[in-house]
Amino acid sequence: MTLRLTNSLTRRSAPFEPLQAGQVSMYCCGVTVYDLCHLGHARSYIAWDVLRRYLLWSGYQVTFVQNYTDIDDKILNRAAKEGSSMEVVSERNIDAFVADMAALNILPADRMPRATQSLDAIRDLIGELQAKGAAYGADGDVYFAVMKHAGYGKLSGRDLSEQQQNADGRVSGLEEARKQHPFDFALWKGAKPGEPSFPSPWGPGRPGWHIECSAMVRQELGDTIDLHLGGADLIFPHHENEIAQSEAATGKPLARWWLHNGMVNVGGEKMSKSLGNFTTIRALLESGTSAMTLRLFVLQAHYRKPLDFTQEALAAAATGWKGLNAALQLAAQLVTGAAGDGPDGPSNSLAEARLRFAAAMDDDLNTSAALAALFELAKPLRSLANRSERGDAQAASEAKALQAEARLLLELASVLGLKPEAESGPEGGATGPNAAEIAAQIAARQAAKAAKNYGEADRIRASLLDQGIELIDKPGGLTDWLRS
């Protein structure tokens, strides 16, 4: 079986095969670090994290590079607004990015170059383009000449001859006047007074947005890479321009595969900073949604389709995760418990589950179907937990039989970046009564129950619930509790 991926370049899916057998190079356009990441970023990076994990699981050696755009108008604006500097804004948001990604269990990229630290490669590339006649200077700016590059528009399906004055009113007249074609874009922007700038053969200034990715890809991974990833909103102009720059310089294809994820929508509209309808990763996590719930929410839909963010859908994912998490926790117990006792040879059903999972993932990363395989695997585990709690005599022997299953569940879950998550349990540092006080209340309620004083027992239960403590009666007269 082979992995099939939908290539935006051809708009169809085809078997994936890296340029060098067993080795995959992938690049993902990162964030402009002017603010916190929102759910749209989370979706994108979760999707590519799963791709990477799946490739690794499949035995590939993967080199993954993701950039930081740390010089840009938005960063400068933000710095001006808060009276700090470009560096301060960038540094802060890079730290936040790292923390957010870690919270979501997204594996860090192998290398994360920054635009401001890649200036030599950027200037070299611009110089090369100019030497080849693909770029021209104008008053301290340098532009890429799209008309000079055959094949411009091949990714986004645009035909230059059909392009009219779409840019009217959207670009400053000054910049427009300098361009030879409306689609020409800046490789180097001459510095305006007071702006931070870097020296260059064209005068002080800074790189345009698109050129950094071309330069970094080339520097870090070579002329042609296997996979280039990003959000669908980057197809035009960003990725189109990257292709043009890189291919004009090297004469080789920039990437063999272009993968694009669908947008996160809110009320049918794209979540974005400009619309103001965004939720930051951090805000969501702080509001009590767990990282794994978010992952499950994202992975339940196919990565290329739009994903509507609603409280209902999130709540559904949370409940779904609760069940899966319980199974994963039990699985972790089983595996570390009486290790080695269980029958090790995978039974037919296990082999089938593994196959089903792989087939789903091979089909353009059908995580929704892959998750179905996980839920099916989790089922007997959850059932076992229920029966053993009820003192089923057979449960103990079954636990051994389920060890291989438990191991497989954990393994496959980890391919999706899903891992057992501790409940926000007793030592959660929350406010309210402490464990000893709760234990005392539970004992009091037990006594009331024994005396058939159910009014009092219910009163204690309700009172604890008011304080955020939920009681869970177990068979055998035991009572667990959760801080909600």
Q: For strands 135-138 and 61-66, give the pairing.
A: unpaired
Nearer CB in complex with RNA: 437/473: 473
Q: How many CB atoms lie within 10 A of CB 320?
A: 16
Q: Is the CB of residue 201 less than 8 Å from the CB of residue 229?
A: no
DSSP for 267-297 reads TTEE--TTTT---BHHHHHHTT--HHHHHHH
Nearer CB in complex with RNA: 335/359: 359
Q: Measured from the CB of residue 168, what is the shortest distance to RNA in angstroms?
A: 9
Nearer CB in complex with RNA: 178/304: 304
Task: State the DSSP H helix or E strand holding residue 317, giving kind and residue range, or none if neither.
Answer: helix 311-336
Nearer CB in complex with RNA: 252/474: 474
Q: Is the CB of residue 271 less than 8 Å from the CB of residue 233?
A: no
Q: Measured from the CB of residue 402, what is the shortest distance to RNA in angstroms?
A: 13
Nearer CB in complex with RNA: 30/417: 30
CA 206 – CA 203 distance, rounded (Å):
9
The DSSP secondary-structure symbol of 108 reads: P
Nearer CB in complex with RNA: 129/324: 324
Q: Measured from the CB of residue 351, what is the shortest distance to RNA in angstroms?
A: 17
CA 275 – CA 50 distance, rounded (Å):
28
Nearer CB in complex with RNA: 47/126: 47
Nearer CB in complex with RNA: 23/77: 77
Nearer CB in complex with RNA: 56/313: 313
Q: Give the total residue count for the chain.
A: 484
Angle, helices 119-131 vs 209-221, to 10°: value is: 100
Burial class (CB in 10 A: 0-12, 13-18, 19+), 87: middle
Q: Is the CB of residue 91 less than 8 Å from the CB of residue 98?
A: no
Burial class (CB in 10 A: 0-12, 13-18, 19+), 361: buried
Q: Measured from the CB of residue 427, what is the shortest distance to RNA in angstroms?
A: 20
Q: Measured from the CB of residue 22, what is the shortest distance to RNA in angstroms?
A: 27
Q: How many CB atoms lie within 10 A of CB 155?
A: 25
Nearer CB in complex with RNA: 367/403: 367
- According to DSSP H, which parts of 58-139 are helical? 73-82, 86-103, 119-131
- Residue 91's nearest CA partner among 111, 112, 70, 77 is 70
Q: Measured from the CB of residue 123, what is the shortest distance to RNA in angstroms?
A: 20
Q: CA angle, 278 as apex, 272 and 281 as ends, to 5°?
A: 115
Long-range contacts of 155-161 (CB under 8 A, 24+ apart): 155/8, 155/9, 155/235, 155/236, 155/239, 155/240, 155/243, 155/258, 156/235, 156/236, 156/237, 156/239, 156/240, 158/236, 158/240
State whether residue 50 is helix, strand or coil: helix
Q: Measured from the CB of residue 74, what is the shortest distance to RNA in angstroms?
A: 6
Nearer CB in complex with RNA: 163/250: 163
Task: Evaluate the CA torsion angle 374, 376, 381, 387 in order and state its sign.
Answer: positive
Nearer CB in complex with RNA: 286/312: 312
The DSSP secondary-structure symbol of 262 reads: P
User: Distances from the Cα of 141 to the Cαs of 136, 176, 431, in angstroms?
Assistant: 8, 12, 58
Nearer CB in complex with RNA: 132/408: 408
The DSSP secondary-structure symbol of 126 reads: H
Q: Is the CB of residue 432 less than 8 Å from the CB of residue 469?
A: yes
